[in-house]
A = this chain, B = another copy of it.
Amino acid sequence: MKLELICTGEEVLAGQIVDTNAAWFADTMMDYGIECQRKTTVGDRLSDLVEIFQERSQHADIILVNGGLGPTSDDLSSEAAAQALGEPLVENSHWRQRLEDWFTRNGRVMSPSNLKQALLPESAVMIDNPLGTACGFAVKLNKAWLFFTPGVPFEFKAMVKEQFIPFLNERFAVGEPTQVTKLLTLGSGESALADKLLGLPLPDGITLGYRSFMPYIEIKLFARGEAAIDQIEHLVQQVKQHLGTAVVCRDCDGLDKAVHNLLVNSGHGLSIAESCTGGAITSGLVAFPGSSTYLHQGLVTYSNESKVKVLGVKPETLDDHGAVSIAVVEEMAIGARSILDSDYALATSGIAGPEGGTDEKPVGTVAIALATKNAVYSQMLKFPSRSRDLVRSMSSAVAYDMLRRDLAREAVIVDYPSAKRFAK
């Protein structure tokens, strides 16, 4: 089965918005073991749309079209599909009723332009959209099914999961059971991971994929068929054996989310003292609703004076060891924890660059500590210094990982492949 994607809209083509729907779609299809073979983006000109539908429908088996289902004059997907088919547009009475109900329910007056959203090509199969006023639809053109979806991301994603996947399974009998398992890794590049897994024999029906989102690389183990699914668990253990502590999390979207879930469930309180990470650790957790239940405070003590006044770091510790040191970051964690007697405190102090490095402590040097009610754990690492963002995100990830490990009763201090360790 050949699957292609067509994205429409001037705002996508003109780079006014980054095309996250397309990346999400291709990534999601990979979860079902389906590869998207081509992606085309066109603007809002009717002739361009008709041309691309006619052209690609001669090559693909199924084409997902995204965007152009709105009520305004530059939403032309339905009209273009009708022209490509040589069919009239016909009002879909079912969807017209849904539109009227929707506007009544939301206490708004339906404008005549919205009626356009009930006009579909004569041969179209309507696709329900419980979340918005744009219904999807599917038409058969040349050798391909064209499946039209709205551009609004949450409507698009719901329609792909709830309507498009079943549509695919029904028509293309991709219906064998599939399963995807994701392992999050930290501190290794994709090629280094691939090299380490080179000798690992993959059972029939299991494929391996990689996705990079700074500072992580996610490894996807995709299994098709009962026999392959039965082998996944064994393979996961083998991958973990080959990669060691580089694997930090299974089936999670990032260590921030993993830590958030662990803290919400455990009821433990957290304070954070940040220097080089500059609020990234705190901000990462605050992004999740419910973080107020465990997050006491996040203190970005960027200047030495602030470390002394807010956290109680001793001036002589700063003088003797420098701000980027095990001694200072331990006092930061202890100070942050004691203000509200939190169960945990994390602290970071480092040199994110591009300036500020020395021979002894080059750019990328970061000290990280975790204080608990009973102990203080700390380490000073040298991360790759390619960019300020990378140093900050690696530091945040290691801090989260230290806390995650303590909450999961694992060893708090472990090695990460690309980080060099300073002696204590």
Residue numbers of A with Cβ under 8 A of B are: 11, 13-20, 22-28, 30, 35-43, 48, 52, 209-212, 271-272, 277-280, 282-283, 285-287, 289-292, 295-303, 305-306, 309-310, 339-340, 353-356, 388-389, 392
Contact = CB atoms under 8 A, between A and B. Distances in A.
B14 A35 contact: yes
A48 B2 CA distance: 13
A37 B48 contact: yes
A210 B10 CA distance: 11
Given A306-B296, A306-B339, A388-B289, A19 B16 contact: no
A287 B278 contact: yes
11 contacts: A11-B212, A15-B22, A15-B25, A16-B209, A17-B212, A22-B41, A38-B42, A41-B41, A286-B392, A291-B302, A296-B302
A277 to B, nearest CB: 8
B27 A15 contact: yes
Given A16-B27, A40-B38, A302 B306 contact: no
A309 B48 CA distance: 63
A17 B13 contact: no
A221 to B, nearest CB: 15
Contacts of A28: 15
Contacts of A295: 302-303
Contacts of A302: 286, 291-292, 295-298
A287 B299 CA distance: 16
Q: What 10 A-B pairs are tightest by C-beta distance, nearest first?
A: A278-B286, A15-B26, A279-B279, A15-B27, A298-B300, A297-B306, A279-B283, A15-B23, A279-B282, A39-B41
Contacts of A306: 271, 296-297, 339-340
Contact of A43 (B18, B37, B52, B282): B37
A379 B278 CA distance: 26
B279 A286 contact: yes
Q: Is the interface of A mostly helix, strand, loop or mixed?
A: mixed
Nearest to A40: B40
B278 A283 contact: yes
A11 B22 CA distance: 12
Contacts of A339: 306, 309-310
A131 to B, nearest CB: 13
Nearest to A292: B302
Contacts of A356: 292
A25 B306 CA distance: 43
Contacts of A299: 297-300, 310
Contacts of A39: 13, 40-42
A419 B280 CA distance: 27
Contacts of A353: 289
Contacts of A388: 287, 289
A280 B285 CA distance: 11
Given A11-B212, A272-B300, A279-B283, 19 more contacts: A15-B22, A15-B25, A15-B36, A16-B210, A38-B41, A278-B286, A278-B298, A279-B279, A279-B298, A286-B300, A289-B353, A289-B355, A291-B302, A292-B302, A296-B306, A298-B299, A305-B340, A309-B339, A309-B340
Contacts of A290: 355
A301 B36 CA distance: 46
Given A36-B14, A38-B48, A340-B305, A300 B287 contact: no
A306 B209 CA distance: 44
Nearest to A341: B305
A91 B38 CA distance: 31
Nearest to A306: B297
